[in-house]
Amino acid sequence: MTLLEVSGMQAFYGRVQVLDDISLSVPDGGAVGILGANGAGKTTTLRAISGSVRSSGDIRFDGKSLRGLRPDQVAALGIAHVPEGRGTFSDLTVRENLRVGAYLRRDAKQVQEDIDYCLDLFPQLQNRVRSNGSALSGGEQQMLAVGRAIMARPRVMLLDEASLGLAPSTAKTVYKAIGRLRQESGIAMVVVEQNANLAFTLVDSATVLEAGRNVLTGSTAELKGMDEIRRAYLGG
Amino acid sequence: MTATNSFSTAPASPWRARLERPWVRWGLVALVVVLAIVVPLLLPEFANQTLARIGVFSVAVLGLNVVMGYAGQISLGQIFFVGLGAYVTAYGYNAGWNIVIVFVLACLIPAVVGMVVALAAARLGGLAIAMVTIALPIIGVPLAKRFSEVTGGSQGTSARFSAAPEWSGLYDDQWQLYLVILIGGATFMLTRNLVRGKYGRAFAIVKGNESVAASMGVSPYRYKVLAFTIASLIGGVSGFLYMVVIQYTSPETLNFGHSIELLASMVIGGAGSIIGSLIGGAWYVLVPQVTNIIDPNLTTVLQGAILLIVLFFLPNGFVSLPRLLRRIGRRDAPQRSAAEVPQHIEE
Amino acid sequence: MSTFLQLMIDGLSTGSIYAALALSIVLVHQATGLINFAQGGMAVLSAYIAWVIYGLGAPLIVAILAAVIVSFFLGALIERYLVRRFERGDPDTAVVVTIGLLTLITGICAWFWTYNNQLFPSLFPLDTVQIAGAVISVRSLGTIVVIVAIMVLLQALFVGTKLGLALRAVAIDPSSAALSGVPVGRNLMIGWGLAASLGAIAGVLVAPQLTLTPGMMDSALVYALAAVILGGLTSPIGVVVAAWLIGILENLAAVYVPFIGHDLKIAVPFVLVFVVLLVRPQGLFGRKSVVRV
Amino acid sequence: MRMNRRRSRVASVVAGVGIVAVLVAGCSRGGAEPDGDGGAATASPGITDTTITLGMTTPLSGGTAGPGTCTVAGLEAYFGSVNAAGGIEFGDGKTRTVEIKALDDEYDPQKAKANYDQLKGSVFAMTAGLGTPTNRAWREAAIADEVPQVLIQTGDPLFSNTQESPWQLGFVPAYQNEGEAFGELLAGAGGEHKVAILSQNDDYGEGYVEGFKSAIEGADNIEIVKELTYEATDTAVDAQLTELAASDADVLFNAMSITPLVISSLQKMQEIGWLPSLFLPSNTSSPGAILEPGGAAALPAVYTVSFAKTPQSPAYAEDEDVVTFLSDLAEYADYPDVPAFPHCMWSYMIGATLEQVFTKMTEPTREDFMAQLRTISDFEAPLMLPGTSVDTTEDDQPAVSTVQVIKYNGKGYEPVDSWDE
């Protein structure tokens, strides 16, 4: 059954329309990719879902409409948004950053377990737990951002350009860890990526945006087969 | 938030476009000059005196604008340089020096002091600079009292060199206003050229992002010091004009409170704006007088309320008024987006 | 010798006045990233509220508690309906807004209660305690104890509790905090509310000594700011220690450094701040932090 | 003078709304210009056949607003009751009511000058304003414009210097006079005395100390053992008192004008167990507002000088001057509580003194006003202590130069003529 259903979504910046009739469907435990060039509306789509950008159209999570909810209310429903640029809290230590992620939870004991899980998932963070977010490398900040999302025990995770500005090897590590997370936790995922190769390692299906519209939607296998996709996004 | 620099921003609008036409510009300039010459002759004494005071503090605000509005370095000590300029003027005149030399010194000494302070302070960032600049007026007051043989101590010192000379056939208030228009006008023109030239661009870069500035080969440190020095020099000019118009100075002149009022006036007028400085000066002088007319017993509460109300509708100061009007003009536009409203902190 | 010790104790009790105010400034900065010039004014208003309630016949402690509670809501409302509009805007504007707020509140106090000095009862008796030949008043002692208690509570709040964590997170990156489920708006209001309550305590602590006037906190504010920056914006312990340091050092300098004397001793804290910041830009105890203003 | 410039008010519109607003107040001088009234000499601004307008610039906000508000309240109280009784019959036979235009200068000289510029065209005389720098800022201008700046409330002797300040006259005793009076008392004491001095670091403190020292000059039973200053902006003077206490002085000459500091220094002295005899200035020696909260009864003796009855003191609770004064304050000045600052009383006396001058004025001119002003002698204004009086005939002296040393008796004050060991 579908966990997150977006249909006919529109969004504006000022008088500029950035999203036009976007639709998206994420099954429970599934992973959907959003591909597209810069400015195609990928990030805005995620922001609209998490409520950081006003939008019209219909967004349903587990059957409930998200219309008019604030980002923190959306998060409370179990949607964790890993924003573009990671949104690390520079003055907080790694541990504190993770605890902010668990803000909505009351189960102190499991929170501790989840922190350990994050550190196990991203070993690079282990010897940095006491250092400030601002002191981390880009890759570590990205891992921290994902970790913060994990701490919320979400049902769906919105990943925005997790590979942005990372060395290819680091990007791979990050995606490997996320892949492992997906298997172990069964969290559903919406993955925005410019690097389709990376995205395809994670998602079962994907939609391609151009100028704020879905132009193409299909399973990973189908999409991989299409040569325009190969040309545009797989550098093949 | 749109940038506060009134030159770089403000999308083209019909009236602005019309302003660009050269003949309109020169027409305006001519008009201003004519007004500057005629108005003092027509206005009653008190209006002239008020205009002159506005001139004095416009220059002070202009200086503050250079360091804060343009170079983005918070300074809470501007009044100290005004006071210093005033004291230099008073001392020099009473010592019988040539008034031109006095004027030059009234500009240079504050500039040098400002530079020395900046050389040390500019190494620090943000609040630290604020702290160092707060210290100036706060330490300045007891200093002025201690060197009483120079400053006249807490009783202050007078210098009346701005009486209208016989040949002019003018009233004193007219003569003083002309002096203010002349010196203040020149200061405004020079500063305008400065901030519109390469220095202004450098300031803007430093304000925007110091590391970027450094990467572009613009030394933040050097330009911070430069901005402070210029601000102090302009403060000195304002101090000289202070003596032209008020003709008396005392430790109260460099009271820390006035520094805060200058800062408020700058923001109210419009940070990073030449016109804004003028409006700021008018604000500094007129608001106390207007509140006095409303009710002398409620000046404080009225001044606070007026300040907050204005900022609430014009967060970028009076210079952003046209932009506000234009926005009201097109209310039919589609619903405001996240870009305009930091929605996440709305309840 | 006993004079020397006495001077240090005097400095300690004077420094405590600065510390009380400095703590609430730190709280607001930690919770919203702003420096609130109106903090002193708000503290005075709270003290007046306590004074009025006391005047109605309530026991002092009750009056103070009532004032603390009222102040919380006052602070929260001010944040929601005035300050919030400027929180994401130009920092300079935000500072000037708090300055305008200070002017307004001072004016309101003067309007209601005139500029006359009102006597404010002290929680502590006018007795004194002997310490190695030096004397300290029970009032100062009590003030110091209360401040230390608040300091510890604040430290615990910020590092220990979920609320403190959320407050700091919101101040650093509101949108990111919201994505983690932190209700940003409510936390900003709570931050200001807590600071206002803290200010209320500061107000009633110093009012007996300074006597209640609309401008009671004005000269303390500058010292408090110095303490805040010297101690490091992020550390309650830091600012209290800094405030005491300032109080003590300026006394010693005034008495034992002839050319400074009592008239220029106000220069001491600033020189101190300057020197320290050249060495440690984040202040004595502070962590590196992004500073607005 | 500048009548030809009146029509220009139209032109001034270009100067902007703000200025226009100010002009409405500033240029009301237009109304003050003579409309061919019957008087022989052309009347000065601010006086008509039925009214006379007095101007004030004084701090009504900020640190000195407490006393500042009092300066207005006292004057309004006095003339309020006078007007209610129909006004004052001037020397020229016309009966006029008195209007007061008071502006706030926030103790900022620049604003004081602005207020003066704004008022001078529409008021007959400037009076009763508080503050040394704020009065100095426009002293020369007042001389140049020949505008009276009289009976102002600063102890700065310059304003009473007949040569240098022809259009000025101070009301309250020079700070020097007060210090001198106490110095003489102390010098006349039998025993040896060690004096510690704490003074405000400005002309106020300096004046007191100067007067005191001149009085004890040559008195070999008096030794000044320690001398310190404080800033009016200080939050505490504990350190100074600790340092002074170490000098074991038995007399503290405390020239302090800040109410809370006086209270806390009284408390501090008791805390550190240093109990000298104390001298306090006239404006910070209020029994109810300062001595009682400070617990001054613990000190061997508290002296101050005064020329005004203190309303707080039970001794004067029934005194009819005090009773009418307080009721006038409440009724005409909207000042319900018993004033904590003597400036309320002083302004009240200033009102009475001005009335004397008005009754002598035969011409509605500032010149005649100044002339008559200098002819008042032995005038016992309401609230004045026996033995003190207003005397403006003496050169280089303020209107009130005689002060009475008084001693705190636990409730109020009593006059003393000699130091009792």
D97-139 per-position pLDDT tens digit = 999 999 999 999 999 999 999 999 999 999 989 989 999 999 9
Task: Say how far apart CA D147 and CA C26 lie, in whole Å.
Answer: 52
pLDDT per residue rounded down to tens, chain A (236 residues) = 789 999 888 888 877 888 888 889 999 989 999 988 888 888 899 999 999 888 888 999 998 999 889 999 999 999 999 998 888 898 899 999 999 999 998 888 899 999 999 999 999 898 888 888 888 888 899 999 999 999 999 999 999 988 888 888 999 999 999 999 999 988 999 999 888 888 888 899 999 888 888 888 888 888 888 877 777 776 65
Provide the pLDDT for residue C219.
Answer: 84
Residue A157 contacts residue A187 (beta carbons within 8 Å): yes
More confident residue, D35 or C9: C9
The nearest alpha carbon in chain C to D265 belongs to C209
Residues whose CB is less than 8 angstroms from the CB of residue A228 and which lie 6 or more positions away in sequence, other chains included: none
H-assigned helices in D85-119: 109-119
C148 near B CB under 8 A: no
- Is the residue at C94 inside a domain? yes
Most B CBs within 10 Å: which of A18, A54, A56, A67, as the mutation test of the B interface?
A54
- Is the residue at C143 inside a domain? yes
Overall average pLDDT of the D8-37 stretch: 41
Angstroms from C261 CA to nearest CA on chain B = 11
- Is residue D35 predicted with pLDDT exceeding 80? no
Chain C residues in contact with A72 (beta carbon < 8 A): 178-184
Overall average pLDDT of the B114-124 stretch: 86
Overall average pLDDT of the B212-239 stretch: 90
Angstroms from D339 CA to nearest CA on chain C = 9
Cβ distance of D337 and C116 shorter than 8 Å? yes
Provide the pLDDT for residue C287.
Answer: 61
The amino acid present at D399, given as its one-letter code, is A
DSSP state of A233: I
Residue at token pair 């004074």: C51
Provide the pLDDT for residue B341.
Answer: 37
Q: In what order do the strands lie in the sheet with D95-104?
A: D88-89, D95-104, D51-58, D125-127, D149-152, D168-170
Interface of A with C (CB under 8 A): 50, 52, 70-72, 75-76, 80-81, 83, 87-92, 96, 99-101, 103-104, 132, 134, 148, 151-152
B14-71 per-position pLDDT tens digit = 666 666 677 888 888 888 888 888 888 888 989 999 999 999 999 999 999 999 999 8
Overall average pLDDT of the D194-217 stretch: 91
pLDDT averaged over 10-residue windows placed end to end, chain C, 293 residues: 82 89 90 88 96 95 96 95 86 89 94 90 85 84 92 90 92 91 92 93 90 89 87 86 92 87 86 81 63 35
Angle formed at CA C92 by CA C89 and CA C94, multiple of 5 degrees? 55
**Nearest by CB: C104 against B135, B138, B301:** B301
- Is the residue at C223 inside a domain? no
B305-319 per-position pLDDT tens digit = 999 999 999 988 999
Provide the pLDDT for residue A95.
Answer: 92
- Do the domains at D34-172+322-390 and D176-306+405-415 have one common CATH topology? yes
Q: What percent of chain D has pLDDT over 70?
A: 90
Interface of B with D in 180-239 (CB under 8 A): none
Interface of B with D in 308-347 (CB under 8 A): none
One CATH from 3.40.50.20, 1.10.10.10, 3.40.50.150, 3.40.50.2300 for D176-306+405-415: 3.40.50.2300
Provide the pLDDT for residue D175.
Answer: 87
The amino acid present at B311, given as its one-letter code, is L
Tokens of C122: 């002290």
Domain that holds residue C213: 2-217
D177-197 per-position pLDDT tens digit = 889 988 988 888 878 899 999
Overall average pLDDT of the B123-143 stretch: 83
D233 near C CB under 8 A: yes
Neighbours of A15 (CB within 10 A): 9
Adjacent-strand bridge partners of A218: A206
Tokens of D131: 């503050």
Provide the pLDDT for residue A80.
Answer: 93
Return mean pLDDT, chain D: 85
Helix (H) or strand (E) holding A65: strand A64-65
Name the nearest CA neighbour of A51 among C171, C175, B340, C80: C175
Task: Write the ipTM.
Answer: 0.86
Residues whose CB is less than 8 angstroms from the CB of residue A63 and which lie 6 or more positions away in sequence, other chains included: none
The model carries a pTM of 0.88
Residue C206 contacts residue C122 (beta carbons within 8 Å): no
- Torsion, Cα C254 C257 C258 C264, to 10 degrees, reads -40
Cβ distance of A14 and B339 shorter than 8 Å? yes
DSSP state of D163: T
Residue B135 contacts residue B79 (beta carbons within 8 Å): no
The CATH code belonging to domain A2-80+149-234 is 3.40.50.300
One CATH from 3.20.20.140, 3.40.50.2300, 3.20.20.450, 3.90.79.10 for D34-172+322-390: 3.40.50.2300
Chains D and A make contact, 3+ CB pairs within 8 Å = no
Provide the pLDDT for residue C166.
Answer: 93
D24 near B CB under 8 A: yes
Distances in whole angstroms, Cα of residue B239 to Cα of each of A5, B310, D181, D248: 68, 28, 41, 47
Distances in whole angstroms, Cα of residue A161 to Cα of each of A143, C7, C184, D169: 12, 61, 25, 80
**Nearest by CB: D271 against C115, C137, C213:** C137
Sequence ranges of the domains in chain A:
2-80+149-234
Most B CBs within 10 Å: which of D61, D152, D160, as the mutation test of the B interface?
D61
The nearest alpha carbon in chain C to B135 belongs to C270
Task: Say how far apart CA A166 and CA A141 lie, in whole Å.
Answer: 10
Chain A residues in contact with B331 (beta carbon < 8 A): none
Instruction: Please tell me the least confidently modeled range out of B113-117, B298-302, C6-10.
Output: C6-10
Cβ distance of A11 and B344 shorter than 8 Å? no
Q: Work out whether strand A2-13 and strand A16-27 pair parallel, antiparallel, or are unpaired.
A: antiparallel
Cβ distance of D23 and B155 shorter than 8 Å? no
Return mean pLDDT, chain A: 88
